[in-house]
Amino acid sequence: MTTIGFIGLGNMGLPMAANLVKAGHLVRAFDVAPDAAVKAKEAGATPAPSAADASEGADAVITMLPAGKHAREVYLGIGGVLKAAGPKTLLIDCSTIDVKTARELHGAAAAAGRLMADAPVSGGVAGAQGATLTFMVGGSETAFAAAEPILGAMGKAVIHAGGPGNGQAAKICNNLILGSSMIAVCEAFVLAERLGLPADKLFAISSKSSGQCWSLTSYCPVPGPLPASPANRDYRPGFTAAMMLKDLRLAMGSAAEAGAEIQLTAAATALYEAFVNAGEGGTDFSGIVRMLRASTSH
């Protein structure tokens, strides 16, 4: 049996921790939220009073936190994971954070002689619940080999993206594609409406033509063609517009640091900013079709 410290029991972390318990691991779980102990028990885990307590003597520590500043605090802060975890503890950060912070954490872990992997996920809350997430892993071959069986209990695919931070790089680039492709699909439906082309016809044709993409055929942003998509339940998430904006901003930040021009992503970021500023942060990201339709003239 493996003892795993799990830190961050939010929408993703809670069901992920529950799947580790189901796979037979002993999970010690912590979150700063006031109902953390209740949440930990809900997942079938043992509540830990602090991140340090969850980490001490564990075989692995997994973090699932909102952003880079939280990850930095949890790993490097006073009472942080890096100090509390033993030399044999494997550290896995599954949060989506900026590449720079991820590489900084890898550097601190390496300096302390700890094995670390960044392992952000794709698949959302449904994937976390159903243990069907895709993990994009950055770190050494040794770190990947150690992390793979643990991550395998929470997902359907565990892919080594390369060295430290490359998991985050893969996640950011993937969601850059998603953000822009969703807007392109939404704009196609808005224009089709104006041209008198029914949505179901555009779907039938483009899903068999060169416009085919995940945003169209797995997550169609208009109601009808794909009964399971959030468009059919008033755009309840799913994946929120606020999360999409967070990931697009990470892409913009990475591009600025790396000197890459990502103009389409800049436009997509501005559109999601407008959508979120209009109070739609909690709406599914495909709901941006409503804003695009409303802003079409006459």
Report the interface residues with ligand NAD, using CB under 6 A. 7-13, 30-33, 51, 64-66, 70, 73-74, 95-96, 121, 124-125, 239, 243, 246
Q: How far is it, in rounded angstroms, from Cα 100 to Cα 108?
A: 12
CB nearer to ligand NAD: give 59 or 284.
284
Question: Is 171 an annotated catalytic residue?
Answer: yes
Residues in the chain: 298
Q: Catalytic: which of 69, 171, 201, 208?
A: 171
Is 147:92 a contact under the CB 8 Å cutoff? yes
Is 215:178 a contact under the CB 8 Å cutoff? yes
Q: Where are the alpha helices (DSSP H) in the chain?
A: 13-22, 36-42, 51-55, 68-76, 81-84, 99-111, 124-130, 141-152, 166-195, 199-206, 214-217, 241-258, 263-275, 288-294
The structure tokens 């892919």 sit at: 159
Closest approach of Cβ 276 to ligand NAD, in Å?
14
Closest approach of Cβ 145 to ligand NAD, in Å?
24
- 11 SS3 class: coil
Q: How far is it, in rounded angstroms, from Cα 267 to Cα 259?
A: 17
CB nearer to ligand NAD: give 41 or 201.
41
Is 81:75 a contact under the CB 8 Å cutoff? yes
SS3 content of the chain, % helix, strand, coil (to 5): 55, 15, 35
How many other C-beta atoms lie within 10 A of the C-beta of residue 216? 23
Closest approach of Cβ 49 to ligand NAD, in Å?
12
Closest approach of Cβ 48 to ligand NAD, in Å?
10
CB nearer to ligand NAD: give 16 or 185.
16
Q: Which residues are catalytic?
A: 171
